[in-house]
Structure 1
């Protein structure tokens, strides 16, 4: 399948996914009404208000979250040359969640730039610890970063649980539901921040795609091509932390998207290309749209946490990858 055909299919699937996300839910709306609400919005019509004021910002946030987490996973997999890298497995998501929960428990702040800043500081703390471990174990950098990431994830999760234990009982339920992942807090006033960060990150990846591809050849090869490997790696790790932090602050803990989507896209197209990066971002957004549809539709009058669904799918995917890697290694 050529790149143009794959890109066209991705756009068509994205349009269909958005239409399903806007039409499906507790109140079913047919496709004609969806288009009528988007093109001729009437605030007096209940179905129009549900689509434009509730479902559309939620669908956009779900798409941005999926795209951003897929790009964050691709960045980590590239700069660490570790195909199992993911913000969730590397402890970055847990660090961001710890920062948000700590700020929420101390101040009661539930929205705004303050949460994103706290999440960014938490993710930076996790990323800094990973870098220190990787440098101290330079001979086994890939394995040590993955193991350290899993350990950090448990460490930050334990610290988050301890904060919840000491928090106000009335706030615990809200915090716990947020940590499991949800797009229910999406609104038009807060969408600008994740949209800005995701678009900026995609632009940076496209701008530095040749340098990122060179990293896959090894640090020595990239250095001979005139690339400042240390500076590029740190910049990309900061970008991944920023992406994860903003999305975690908006959506809570959503794991394994950055692991699954780049692997799936890699089966069809090289992510080193210009179109490959776009398709990775589109695929992540499409995947998260359908996860959100499932979260709203599986149970009647109830909403499943998004993070529970992605964790269930991602854990099976991760175990399958490990089995395939072990079989491939045994055949060599």
Structure 2
């Protein structure tokens, strides 16, 4: 019976995502006319102001929220499968700290160049990834615990350097970087989509291609090796892919936490933990979740936008408290 209901769940999820997109397009400080929504989307609208708001502000922001949410949730799902740790998250590898360091340097040294901030954040995130894998390799990085501990160490190290730079900088530049680090889709444009979308598609395609190997890794390394899976190359490949994908997202959206933690858990509850199902469900649910959060960030406070990281952190904390309470009710 459950297998028969699953197609309806997928259909309901897709319909809900489409309705959420339409709702988010009409959510903001300026209310748009629903009757002109479709003509304006296809550049056939007589209301130039509405068309400008829709095509230059809200549509890029919506699309960036979709790909960023999908990418963060996909990265979390892959990392949880690779590490067999349900608490694994892209930020365990220090990527957000590396991006923050790069953004801080760009803001302080090259404030006149708008493109410097995302580029510096991207290279800072890649630097963090290289440091994590390098330190883990020195300590025998085949052990998953070593990779996680290396990520925590690098995160603290780069955060300390960033805090020192912000402490010595002027207040305006420091406030700008701090707001960016807490996450926002305010910098949405089509250039960001052109960078993030190919990384997302490559990561998803390879995840689907190696879905059987990823399923085997969920049991144990020994079981996967007995089935002919090259454990070390596959794990390294997807560590690099998820780190690069997260770096692209952080470079344009800042630090948005807990998406990669919460969404895979919810997908497992709704659809199961098979790799292909988990990846597809995580992308759809992650996209929908992030555009909901962004709509709330723009409307919860009048004439003020909340950072996305604040909302996702609050929701993530409540989510894990709920998980702990449900676990505590089970008999020992």
Listed one character per residue, the Cα deviations across residues 114-159 of structure 1 (whole Å, up to 9, x for unaligned) are 3354143233145326735974794xx55x6556645544443332
Partner SS state of residue 304, structure 2: coil
Give, in whole Å, the separation in 1 of the partners of 2:274 and 2:229: 17
C-alpha change, 1:303 and 1:67, in structure 2 (3 Å) is same
- Aligned partner of 2:215 in structure 1 is 213
Q: Once structures 1 and 2 are overlaid, which stretch shifts more, 144-153 or 310-319?
A: 144-153
Which one of the candidate residues 168, 172, 175 is aligned to 1:173?
175
Give, in whole Å, the separation in 1 of the partners of 2:12 and 2:233: 37
1:157 aligns with 2:162: no
* TM-score (normalizing by structure 1): 0.89
Contact 2:92 2:152 (8 Å CA) reproduced: yes
Unaligned runs of 5+ in 1: none
Contact 1:103 1:118 (8 Å CA) reproduced: no
Give, in whole Å, the separation in 2 of the partners of 1:192 and 1:133: 36
Contact 1:89 1:256 (8 Å CA) reproduced: no
Give, in whole Å, the separation in 1 of the partners of 2:127 and 2:6: 38
Partner SS state of residue 191, structure 1: helix
C-alpha change, 1:88 and 1:325, in structure 2 (3 Å) is farther
Give, in whole Å, the separation in 1 of the partners of 2:280 and 2:141: 35
C-alpha change, 1:225 and 1:87, in structure 2 (3 Å) is same
Unaligned runs of 5+ in 2: none
- Aligned partner of 1:9 in structure 2 is 12
- Aligned partner of 1:315 in structure 2 is 317
Q: Once structures 1 and 2 are overlaid, which stretch shifts more, 175-184 or 97-106?
A: 97-106
Which one of the candidate residues 215, 219, 232 is aligned to 1:230?
232
Give, in whole Å, the separation in 1 of the partners of 2:93 and 2:129: 12
Listed one character per residue, the Cα deviations across residues 20-79 of structure 1 (whole Å, up to 9, x for unaligned) are 110011001243232231134447521121111100000000111100000111111011
Q: How far does residue 295 in structure 1 lie from its aligned partner after superposition?
A: 0.3
- Aligned partner of 1:50 in structure 2 is 53
- Aligned partner of 1:261 in structure 2 is 263
1:38 aligns with 2:41: yes
Number of aligned residue pairs: 327
Contact 1:71 1:258 (8 Å CA) reproduced: yes
Give, in whole Å, the separation in 1 of the partners of 2:137 and 2:119: 27
Q: CA RMSD in A?
A: 2.6
- Aligned partner of 2:102 in structure 1 is 99
